[in-house]
Structure 1
Amino acid sequence: MKNTWLILSLVLFGCGQQPPVVDDIANSSMNTVQWQGVYHGVFPCPSCEGMDTTIELLHPNDYIIHTVRLGSDPYPFQGRGTFQWDKTGNIIILDRGHIYQVLPDHLYLLDIEHKRIIGPDAERYRVDKVKYLSQPVDS
């Protein structure tokens, strides 16, 4: 009987529970985080030493991205475009296909299923905010 209660309590109170889904768009990153700003980091790269990446998110839904393939390509890429928020208001999708989870001080690059990349390099798929924009900037 003790084993039955132990198993039942594990099932009911934590084992296999999914994280809560934020359905309240008013409390999403889009509405509660100062997401405008400049983010920087170096993503893993299978054919180079890393992808040095800077992303600037601008109001209303514009971005500028600058990448350099470290150790292999002397020609940096710079592009600009627009992004859309997903229905939760916590994820942005750039018009070039990149998907990012928006948090107060950083962005995580997500996979095509809108999930965090896992594994030993998981934290390297993050760009940290290096500059805040105090006011919305029109482009």
Structure 2
Amino acid sequence: MLKQSLTKNLAKGLAVMAAILLVAGCDKAAKQTDNSEPSQNVTQLADATHNARTSLDWAGTYQGMLPCADCEAINTKVTLNTDGSYQLERVYVGKSAQVFTEQGIFNWSDIGSTVLLEAEQPVQFFVAENQLFMLDKQGKRIEGDLAARYRLQKLTE
């Protein structure tokens, strides 16, 4: 219902904007009417399409040391590819030198701000400018004293 209402308002707003531009283009002396509603709708459209997936250079490799319950840290490297594939590498520092590697596909959230790595144990990240923030199992940002440690930094190529 809300989606239909927004779509109708957007269509009306765009129609009004098109009419205003047509009149203004044909007759420079014509005065523009109050178009605050159409410009609000256009702004809403721009905001709806502005997200990490469409606005950031997210593809690449990210690395960081994530907290670990039974080791010093988890040296984690995630590579996100533009084709929707990923590679995840983990080394449990202080426990083993073995590199645990997983590959697969990732999916974007509906709003385009988080990715879900389809792994043996799925992992979610919030995508920010040149960094990934690991999310909890409910898909929320981790809070508290260790929150800053759940961040992977994008590596320069």
TM superposition score normalised by structure 1: 0.75
Work out whether 1:89 is the aligned partner of 2:108.
no
Q: CA deviation at 1:25?
A: 4.4
Work out whether 1:129 is the aligned partner of 2:147.
no
Q: Deviations over 1:61-81 (max 9, x none)?
A: 111111100000121101111
Structure with larger Rg: 2
The gaps in structure 1 that reach 5 residues or longer are 1-22, 133-139
Q: CA deviation at 1:119?
A: 1.1
Work out whether 1:48 is the aligned partner of 2:64.
no
Corresponding letter in the other structure for 2:151: R
Corresponding letter in the other structure for 1:118: E
CA distance in 2, matches of 1:51, 1:25: 36
Aligned to 1:137: none
SS in 1 for 2:155: strand
User: What is the Cα-based RMSD across aligned positions, in Å?
Assistant: 1.4
Q: Which has the higher contact order (CA 8 A, sep 6+)?
A: 1
Corresponding letter in the other structure for 2:111: T
Aligned to 1:113: 138
Aligned to 1:103: 128
| Paired residue total | 110
CA distance in 2, matches of 1:111, 1:79: 19
Corresponding letter in the other structure for 1:30: R
The gaps in structure 2 that reach 5 residues or longer are 1-45
Do the aligned residues in 2 keep the contact of 1:25 with 1:89 (CA within 8 Å)?
A: no
Do the aligned residues in 2 keep the contact of 1:106 with 1:126 (CA within 8 Å)?
A: yes
Q: Deviations over 1:92-136 (max 9, x none)?
A: 00101100000011000001221111111100000000135xxxx
TM superposition score normalised by structure 2: 0.67
Aligned to 1:37: 60
More helix by share: 2
Corresponding letter in the other structure for 2:149: R
Q: Which runs of 4+ in 1 moved over 3 A?
A: none
Corresponding letter in the other structure for 1:111: D
Q: CA deviation at 1:24?
A: 4.3
Q: Alignment identity in percent?
A: 30
